[in-house]
A and B are shown apart, each in its own frame.
Chain A
Amino acid sequence: MGLLDIKDISLAFGGIQALDRVSLSVEPGELYAIIGPNGAGKTSLLNCISGFYTPDRGTILFEGRGFSRERPDQIAKLGIARTFQNVELFSHMNVIDNMLLGRHHHYKSGFFKNAILGYRAEEENRHRLKVEEVIDFLEMEQWRKHLVGSLPYGVQKRVELGRALAQEPKLLLLDEPMAGMNQEETEDIARFILDVHEELGTTIVMIEHDMDVVMDISERVCVLDFGKKIAEGSPREVQKDSKVQKAYLGEDYETVMRGAGNP
């Protein structure tokens, strides 16, 4: 049994079947990538895991424990952190504050103790230290006190990754971490993802369109098409799979190829 076991989940929006009996299992310490054409259901799957959507049927097991109706904040508490396809940060707050928010569920003392009994200092120092460790890890020293809204897009994505890491998750869900980045930023983020995976040993499930990156860094790849899982395996195996080629190049791929050969 893996760290994350998804069994037969389905999700429909009206007549559209976003996920159709998808099952997969992610082992502890794995770097697992989900790929597929637009509208294949990748983000829906991630949203089901992180509690934004509730699947119509099927079960999700995290560390052997099933959950289905938990709220996203309860799921975060279990040790699952995520980033979003379009950056979802508080743009008028600085980098540190945004990352401290990732520590929210680690705060032990409530309003009364903090505000009135003055437990704040000790606890806040502890959380600040963790945030600083992440800043050091992701090399963000120069932006510490900058407002997030004023930072370049590539850096904002890094801050979001930082916020997820500040949660000290067991499972990290990344929704297109490289989207909209230039070559250099892509390489930076790829290196950071590898560092997270190797140094911190965090299990990572990543959706990504940049095939070079996926093939380069992930250990196992799962391919979705129209809500169905059509392939799973090592990057090399998946690349060779005819169903995958069809999904990416279109249904007519073979006929076209044949047509080109015999006029």
Chain B
Amino acid sequence: MKEDTIPRIFLGKVKKYGDCVALRDKDFGVWQEISWNEYCRHVRHCCLGLMELGLSRGDHVSIFGENEPEWLYADLAVQSAGGVAVGVYPTNPAKEACYVIGHSDSIFVVCDNQEQVDKVLEVKEELPLLRKIIVTDMKGLRHYTDPMIMPFGSVEDIGRKVEENDPEKYYRTMDKLKSEDVAIMVYTSGTTGPPKGAMLSHDNVVQFLKAQSQVLPQYDTDEIVSYLPLCHVAERMMSVFFPLNSGATVNFAESVETVTMDMREILPTFYLAVPRIWEKMMASIIIKMKDATWIKRKMYEICSPIGERMADARLSGGPIPFSLKLMYGLGYLGLFRHLRKELGLLRARVAVSGAAPIAPEVLKFFHSLGVPVLEGWGMTEETGIGTCNVLEDVKLGTVGKPIPGVELKIAEDGEILLKCNHVFVGYWKDPEATAKTVQDGWLYTGDVGELDEEGRLKITDRKKEIIITSGGKNIAPSEIENHLKCSPYINEAIVIGDGRKFLSALIQIEYDNVAKWAQEHSIAYTTFKSLAQNQQVNEMIKQEVHEANKDFAQVETIKKFRLLDKELDHDDDELTATLKLRRKTVYKKFGDIIEEMYGSKRDK
């Protein structure tokens, strides 16, 4: 059987691994194992059940919930039937979820619990095509009378009966799939304007997996913890498609709140996180060390410079002196091992940072612990990864070399253009945007960057976000912002200065850490707002900004800043579902504060 569609790859693995563990789900505090055979049975039954309910080739199905095995069952079931699976962010408010479900013409939506069902019911009138709401956890829904609601188990029951009468039906259906069929649709996060649905075909995914297995090889012994939203292309690859290709085991965290604890139990070997999580992990270690006992603090003070030297030595690629190896070994026993265990990264063989730019300082911190975090860069529109650092060849501050099959070109205005055999099919119902994004086979990424002499890519920023000061200087805000965010007290920074004389910043403090700092300095506060307005807190942040400024040229330094007196929130439209900034909204909302920093009139 040629493995040219996703379900075929899946069936190949089912045949190979049979009763081996494919998925683990924590239920009642115990990791319950699901074998490849069981995984396959669920997919088959769900697929046949959905078809019985009216799913046919080319139909769309939205999946709206947290990560759980049922998410994967539904995903693969829809694809097997020739349908298109669309992920919706579980944190989306009703309005945004409605946009995706409606825009994708979904006929079914699979929800994980009452919370999501309530959101769908709220906007049901605007979704005329929707036929069924399929729910995996019926808790709290017994008394809902809406005939559209249906438990996930019943769909599988219907499928089971179909299979009893016609055991070959699933395989016949799946065989009709063509590799050029659209398999999934991933909605881009939409920092500007409404999200667009990028259509990815079976072939896109298959070609991408071929390239990925050469740069980030994954084996059937690897353990993965699935916790980032599955609707994002990176996590979809990580939890669904990579393991289908490699046979690795996927573990589902019990709930969003328990991820840290679950990580410590599983100790994943293959791990993906977004910069925000790496930053949080680093901040948590730094803060905890301040609180630790004297002996632990001393240990940290002695060992961390050794770790840094080791990281430098490894990154430079030269020979590592024996004395350093010996000292690092001792440091590992005394410190690094424990920190890695605490973070759940003790066994992390491959750790990847992606989806947004990260400060090199953060990466170096993890390299010094012995966790080589590899920064990659990619786009939904080319199925995930375009360039990536590899274990043997890491250069901090770059996103690595193109993966096999990917060709890069820098346009005259600095925009990165990309060509490969896994460029997406197009945007759903938006041929105009598709034509703009793909021209002559080149994908216009919207990122600005440069290639170094060895062919590594360095990202400057999103093209739309480059700031041009009134002095005519081009500045990439994200680099400065990431630098600021290295401080454990700064959660979010927004650099402003387009058309202005100097740069300023809006800063959101990291509530937990600043609250702790305030307690240590006996500063009274009640809420986030009172903390942000406190004079001493402002002084402290000023110091942090001052520190960060040292690493930049004069024009790139932050001259003024203000602390935000509220936390930016997805619900308030200031962040996207992936917690990326919506700059326009923020500029508009905090316009007064910004104007005040530049004096009431605009500085010319």
Interface check A195, CB cutoff 8 A: yes
Contact of B257 among A135, A142, A194 (CB under 8 A): A142
Do A142 and B258 touch across chains, with their CB atoms under 8 A apart?
A: yes
CB-contact partner of B28 in A132, A139, A191, under 8 A: A132
Residue of B nearest to A96 (CB): B29
Interface mask (B240-254 → A, CB under 8 Å = 1, otherwise 0): 000000000000001
A117-149 to B contact mask, C-beta < 8 Å, 1/0 = 000000000000100110111010110100000
Given contacts A194-B140, A198-B140, A199-B142, contact A142 B255 (CB under 8 A): yes
Tell whether A129 pairs with B258 under 8 Å between CB atoms, given A195-B139, A199-B140, A199-B142.
no
Interface of B, helix, strand, loop or mixed by DSSP: loop
The smallest C-beta distance from B180 to any residue of chain A, in angstroms, reads 43
Instruction: Check if B299 is an interface residue, CB within 8 A of chain A.
Output: no
Cross-chain contact B29 with A144 (CB below 8 angstroms):
yes
Whether a CB of chain A sits under 8 angstroms from the CB of B261 is yes
A191–B29 CA distance with the chains assembled, in angstroms: 23
Chain B interface size, as a band, is 10 to 19
Contact of B29 among A135, A194, A198, A199 (CB under 8 A): A135
Q: Say yes or no: is B143 at the interface (Cβ < 8 Å to chain A).
A: yes
Known: A132-B28, A132-B29, A133-B28. A139 touches B255 (CB 8 A): yes
> Would A129 and B28 be within 8 Å (CB), given that A139-B255, A141-B255, A142-B255 are in contact?
yes
What is the chain B residue whose CB lies nearest that of A137? B139
B261 (CB) vs chain A CBs: closest residue: A142
Of chain A, the residue at the smallest CB distance from B143 is A198
Q: Which of B109-148 contact A (CB under 8 A)?
A: 139-140, 142-143
A232 to B298, CA, bound (A): 68
A139 vs B254: C-alpha distance in the bound complex, in angstroms?
10
Q: How far is the CA of A136 from the CA of B143 in the complex (A)?
A: 20
> Whole-angstrom distance between the alpha carbons of A198 and B27 in the complex?
22
Nearest neighbor of A191 in chain B, beta-carbon distance: B140
Closest to A134 in B: B28
In the bound complex, do residue B258 and residue A141 qualify as a contact, i.e. CB atoms below 8 Å apart? Answer: yes
Contact bitstring A210-237, B, C-beta under 8 A = 1, else 0: 0000000000000000000000000000
Q: Which residues of B contact A136 (CB under 8 A)?
A: 27-28
Tell me the smallest distance from the CB of B252 to a CB of chain A, in Å. Answer: 12
Residues of A within 8 A of B254 (CB): 141
Q: What is the chain B residue whose CB lies nearest that of A195?
A: B140
Q: What 10 A-B pairs come out closest when comparing CB atoms? A: A132-B28, A142-B257, A141-B254, A142-B258, A132-B29, A141-B258, A141-B255, A195-B140, A198-B142, A198-B143
Q: Hey, which bits of chain A sit against chain B, CB under 8 A?
A: 129, 132-133, 135-137, 139, 141-142, 144, 191, 194-195, 198-199
Sample of 9 A–B contacts (CB below 8 Å) = A135-B29, A136-B28, A141-B258, A142-B255, A191-B140, A198-B140, A198-B143, A199-B139, A199-B142
